[in-house]
Amino acid sequence: MAKHLVLAGGGHAHMEILANLGEFIKLGWRVTGIGPSDYHYYSGMGPGMLGTTYEPDDIRFATRAQVEAQGGTFVRDTIVAVDPQKRCLELASGAQVEYDLVSFNTGSSIRRPEITGDQEKIYTVKPIERLYEAREAISSQADLHPIRVAVIGGGPAGAEISGNLRELLAGSSCPAEVILYAGRRFMGRFPEAVRQKSRRLLGRAGVKIVENGYLQRIDDMHLVFDGTGGEAVDFILLATGVHPSSFFETAGMAVGRDGGLLVNRFLQHVDYPEVFGGGDCISFQERELDKVGVYAVRENPVLLHNLKAIIQGQPLQAFDPGGDYLLIFNLGQGQGVLRKRWLNMSGRLAFKVKDWIDRKFIERFK
């Protein structure tokens, strides 16, 4: 029987592999893609979808169609466990998938606080599809009665989500309040210029930024911070820290400090040479990398090369993360904040640069 390559997840780091899947089949390998949806949503455009700048079809890749069109098999399911000794993946359905070679790009999940009571109006910003669900629910209610929407998280995700919520609610029939609960310091790990430009744009849009502590729990849609409070809201969007899937650590595989699959400079697991990975689900042994899409995109050609190289017995290529990267936040209503080394700028031009880059990326792999 032909050997089996499994692509676990259809994320940003697998785009090049998915586009060139036929090459592996020509080498005599079976190829299976596994993912929770027939589509993969580009996270960089997720906040814009929430704010109605984009529609779902504008920001997603048809993963199943791409795999099957090239002769591969696609399984719509979620990986819940891995057995590296048996080279086997266990899926939520109970099915098991054996592999000879596997690449993980299973992304990350949002950390959730303790929650009691109804959770119907609580949304995590990942998976990205949840933002469209939030958009539909919030916009429908905003035309019926005044609403208060809370965004939890003081980093870039929280900033982008809150700004695009203001865009979503700009035309609502009833008053709507958007409150960004930003921990103790809004955008705390960024230069002061970036923080101030972001704060100014959000304030101008009508976002209220609160820096009075960290969310401890949610009791029946009441927010409790550091053991005090109980502020009632109508909708909650969680944009707090992300973490990789726990199944790597549960399986006894070497992981990084954040629980991500520990890979060497070839994006290959440090103990299992038949295991590769990219994106948010890995921890890069050479140095810690931010959980940003730019690294997943840079990992694309290296993963494609190394999977083919290990099949053909050729030398592997090292991944170079590169230096400082371009960072642009979409803060809604056509406004953005851009940072690259010494350059900091905000306004419509920053958003237009981001929009152009994002659309070119989508166009390249659709």
Q: How far apart are CA 55 and CA 288, in angstroms?
A: 34
Say if residue 37's pLDDT is above 90. yes
Is the confidence at residue 164, as pLDDT, over 90?
A: yes
For residue 366, pLDDT over 90 is answered with: no
Higher pLDDT: 109 or 230? It is: 109
Q: Which structural domains are found in the chain, ordered by start?
A: 4-109+242-312 (3.50.50.60), 112-240+326-365 (3.50.50.100)
Section 281-306 average pLDDT: 94
Query: To the nearest 10°, the Cα dihedral for 26, 29, 33, 34?
Result: 180
Mean pLDDT of 1-16: 95
Average pLDDT rounded to a whole number, residues 244-257: 95
According to the model, what pLDDT value does residue 111 have? 85
Structure tokens belonging to residue 197: 């430009």
At residue 285, does pLDDT exceed 90?
yes
Is the model's pLDDT at 229 over the cut of 70?
no
pLDDT in tens, 82-127: 999 999 999 999 999 999 999 999 998 888 989 999 999 999 999 9
Taking alpha carbons only, the member of 44, 81, 60, 93 closest to residue 280 is 44
**DSSP string over 213-251:** --EEEEETTEEEETTEEEEE-SEEEE---EEE-THHHHT
Q: Where does the pLDDT of residue 43 fall: very low under 50, low under 70, confident under 90, or very high at 90 and above?
A: very high
Closest Cα to residue 155, out of 126, 179, 183?
183
Those residues whose C-beta lies under 8 Å from the C-beta of residue 281, and which sit 6 or more positions away, are: 9, 104, 105, 106, 107, 108, 244, 245, 248, 260, 261
Name, in order, each residue with C-beta under 8 angstroms of 351's C-beta and a sequence gap of 6 or more.
328, 330, 331, 334, 335, 336
Tell me if 141 sits within 8 A of 313, measured CB to CB.
no
pTM of the entire predicted model: 0.94
Residues found in the chain: 366
Q: How would residue 325 be classed by pLDDT, with cut points 50, 70 and 90?
A: very high
Is 10 or 163 the better-scoring residue by pLDDT? 163
Note the pLDDT of residue 227.
59
Specify the 3-state DSSP secondary structure of 77. coil
User: What pLDDT is attached to residue 124?
Assistant: 96
For 37-49, the DSSP string reads SSSEE-GGGHHHH
